[in-house]
Amino acid sequence: MSTPLTLSAKEAAAELGVSLATLYAYVSRGLIRSEATAGGRTRLYRAEDVRALVARRDRPDAAAAGDKALDWGAPVLESAVTLITGGALYYRGRDATDLAAGATLEAVAGLLWDVTEDPFADAPPPLPRLDGVSPDLDPLDRLLALLPLAAAADARAVNRTPAGLARTGARIARLMAAVLAGVEPSSLPLHQVLCRAWGVTGPGVELIRATLVLSADHELNASAFTVRCVASTGANPYAALSAGIGALRGPRHGGATARVAAVLPGLLDAPDPVAALSALLARGDELPGFGHRLYPDGDVRAAWLMKRMGMLWGTEPRFRRAMALARAAVDLAGTAASLDYALVLLADRLSLPPHAPIALFTLGRSAGWMAHYLEQARSSVLIRPRARYTGLRP
């Protein structure tokens, strides 16, 4: 007899050995997926999720490990935005590297947001004044200071229809591009806003466009999950994306580009970059910009960008040293270059400002954040995980 793919509520609760209320709590936490029956009056529960939860709970080390349900691998939320599988990245079923070959970030945003009309068709919003704020403030800090002011000035942000929210997302993206580039908002394509401000011309323009596309989303990473949590409370997109930027800045997320930028120039300028890398690893120092748990065979985004960079600069000594470092990292440490390494290498080759790697990451990721915001808003579910208490008992 074949194993059923779904279980009734009573069957699922019985397999888990819990009450129906606890089963429903597991569903609300995203640990078990459910689906409505044809009539819509009852729900069925994924048998594979139930049995996976039982297996984790019954592991000998489950209690000691705290059954880390929100750590890598356990189901958290259902999403149709992005899929990472087989070493490839897909945006709503479209290969991200295929899109990087020619699509703009605006086009990819429309795909991720699942809208039919162009949300970027409206005129760009004005840039709020930031009186008293130092012009030397980091662009991401300026962005965090500006977004609440922009939200207060945006009367159209009350439109909570999918189309209205998408237009709000487009206005936010244009503001973000302007602040990160240090210019006034415009109707130019987002990649061109950055390129004009940074003096990028020729083939570099296409690399900037492609980089934004490849940065657009990466499933439920820390910043996307943060955006979804804020969205689930009913907060507006400005608040949710501000929270996403805050999460992105951490050195274990988008802020990793700064760690790469602190190490890469020294390695490239060393008399023997590979020997310098070997010495770094021998000291037990971290190697930022290499390795990604979702890509055991190498980050497809980095590989795509570095191949295109090689077409432009493959004969230049400094780029060849960078590629030698990437190969040595695989040989010595078994870790391939990640997107962070590719972003910093691109900034090095195009002589971009120091904040460019994280600026590219942030602007590109704004499309994915808004996609997760829209998906969460459609679900009307408050994200509220429960804690496994490990402290003193009364």
Residues taking part in catalysis: 292, 340
How many other β-carbons are positioned within 10 Å of the β-carbon of residue 350?
A: 22
Nearest partner of 248 among 226, 263, 232, 264, judged by Cα:
226
**Are 305 and 215 within 8 A, CB to CB?**
no
CB under 8 Å to 282, separation ≥6 — which residues?
none
Closest CA to 340 of 326, 324, 320, 321: 326
Residue 269: partners with Cβ closer than 8 Å, 6 or more residues away: none
Q: Cα–Cα distance between 70 and 225 in angstroms, integer?
A: 11
The three-point CA angle 301-305-221 to 5° equals 25
Q: How far is CA 229 from CA 13, 222, 235, in A?
A: 27, 11, 10
In angstroms, the CA 88 to CA 84 distance is 6
Burial 120-159 (b: 16+ CB within 10 A, else e): beeebbebbeeeeeeeeeebbebbbebbeebbeebeebee
**R_g (Cα) of the chain, nearest Å:** 23
Tell me the pairing of strands 94-95 and 88-91: antiparallel
Helices (H), 59-157: 62-65, 96-100, 105-113, 139-153
- Interatomic CA distance for residues 245 and 223, integer angstroms: 7
